Amino acid sequence: MDFIRGIKYNLQGFALALKTPRLLLLGLLRFVVMVLITILSAGLILAYHQELINLIWTRPDTAWLVWLWVVVDWLVTVLLIGITVVLAYLLSQILFSVLIMDLMSRITEKLVTGAARAPEGASLFQQFFFLVKQEIPRAVIPILITLVFMLIGWLTPLGPVISLLASAAVIVFLAWDATDLTPARRLRPFSERFRFLIKTLPFHLGFGLLFLVPLVNILFLSFAPVGATLYYLKRHSGESVKSLNS
């Protein structure tokens, strides 16, 4: 079953990364980058939240309005932190993580096949620029879909169902962000890679399921390129990964 296979590949990639020093270092580096950028961004919001709320609504003098102002103050702050976390993730993903993820994918492919395949006639700079360009829709689409689901949930009585659908959509796209590394490095067209996602939705849903586990989800997300590359090589290249388990 593809759903179960997705979970297994995520765990298998995580296990391989733990016993491969270069993969372990890169995964931890990605983890630290995401956490640091998120903390710094949220910290700036908390440090200047008073100034930000004053731009929206100056503190009133009436006593009963002060309570309403305080509620609005913290609601706006929480909203701004949420937006900041999302933007921080996008920033770290596009500017830093895409390079780290690609290196992890290349190392994994070399471990499996003996060499990391690359398109002929394309320089490393061209490949990296292509990966960064492709990372934008891969990172932005899940956010947009989540916002659409949230809006639908607010406007309809189907909130719980919409929340489940939103979570499923997010983890599918996060999983695809990892499985798309190898074909993107080989400069496959975006339409071809998107069709691959549609055809393998159960696998991506299973692969991304671990991203919902509190506390450890960011670790699985950091090492996801390893298991995703193993899966892509097995499915598309017919490469055996048995030697990795020996």
In which band, very low, low, confident or very high, does the pLDDT at 37 lie, cut at 50, 70 and 90?
A: confident
Which domain does 74 fall in, by range? 2-245
Total count of domains within the chain? 1
Question: Is residue 223 packed enough to be buried (19+ CB in 10 Å), middle (13-18) or exposed (0-12)?
Answer: buried
Mean pLDDT, the chain, rounded, equals 79
Share of the chain above pLDDT 90, in %: 22
Cα gap 237→235, rounded to integer Å: 6
In which band, very low, low, confident or very high, does the pLDDT at 204 lie, cut at 50, 70 and 90?
A: very high
Closest C-alpha among 102, 91, 109, 92 to residue 33: 92
- Cα–Cα distances (Å) from 115 to 71, 106, 108, 165, 246, in that order, read 57, 8, 9, 39, 19
Q: Is the pLDDT of residue 117 over 80?
A: no
Q: Is the pLDDT of residue 170 over 90?
A: no
Q: Which among 118-127, 158-167, 230-239 has the top mean pLDDT?
A: 230-239
Q: Is the pLDDT of residue 166 over 70?
A: yes
Stretch 176-183: mean pLDDT: 88
